[in-house]
Amino acid sequence: MFAAIMATVSLVIDVSAQQSALFEPPKDRQLLVIGQDMGAIGGFPKPNNDGYVDHIDIKPGGVTTYTGLTKLGGLKTLVNLYSGDTWAQAIIDNPIYANSVLVIGLHMVDQEKSAANGELDAQIKMLGEWIKQTKRPVFLRIGYEFDGTWNHYDPESYKAAYKRLVTKFRELQVTNCVTVWQASTSPVNGKQADIGKWYPGDEYVDWIGYSWFLSSANQIKLTDGLLAFAREHKKPVMVCESAPQGYDNARLTQRNIYKGIDPKEKTPEKIWKEWYAPFFNYIEKNKDVIRIVAYINVNWDSQMLWGWPYLHGYWGDSRVEVNPDIKKLWLETISDKKWMNSSPTLFQDLGFPAQSDRGT
């Protein structure tokens, strides 16, 4: 996306020969990201002080947050849309996340036509300028889950909006941001459309992303198709959203994902075997292209948007820290040297300039 710009800026980024895209982890390594709200990631004043980093000593290599293009809510100020607090600037200002990349989901539902025709250029500029001042790698998921029936994106308007945002960012020289084109790969999405009709083009897309919630045969089939598309277009892949939908790690149950009924008791080992093991096995099997993994570590059932009466399906509780056995298995997994977590050298390992080169 930014190849032409990167050749002209004064900063020289030493990207490893093993890397084929901006901010791609070195060969045989993968970056771990945790999301998706302040309560889920933790490390903030009450009530957001009981999340991932408050219970897991290994700090994540990245964190996820969200904003919408029209109002940019949750960027510079705190916003809660009944699904947890979001506030990107608070993440940037928090020393706990000083060595974590930022992944932003950019909501554009019913905004793509306005963005495409230039009506939201001021917001695009504001977003770009804010990203520049973060002085860290930022992954921007533009109109995430573009093919989800719940988002009803018009393909032509979506592509035009995507291209316009990229073009404006290039003009602003937002060189610390890469774009992510994220499909839903959802087994509950109804008839699967050709994702290619939403594709803005290789010159506008840096990374390709997907969601994984069910660890089912159909989930694997859909994701296989997405990975084939990514390999064809020579793009690295990010697991943008993932969680064991229907499972409750605190109550050790699994319920119907549509209505939250028919609870079945599960042991921690059974939950791990049914969802986590297939999830990580798939990532390992496709490590040539899957380079970043974002996990949603949240008590969905406690949030108004996702809780009873489950108008958006039943999600459960995906926090890995709430059960000691699941936490142990999780720590054993992410402690493997292949996983890139927070560290003083993380940004440099991703090909980003050292702090002394970035300025203050």
Please name every residue paired with 247 in a beta bridge, in sequence order, or none if there are none: 254
Q: Say which of 112, 145, 269, 274 is annotated catalytic.
A: 145
Q: Say which of 24, 112, 241, 321 is annotated catalytic.
A: 241
| 156 is an active site residue | no
| 145 is an active site residue | yes
List all residues 6 or more positions away from 352 whose beta carbon is below 8 Å from its beta carbon. 13, 23, 136, 137, 176, 358
Residue 65: CB atoms within 10 Å: 24
The amino acid that residue 228 corresponds to is: A
Active site amino acids: 145, 241
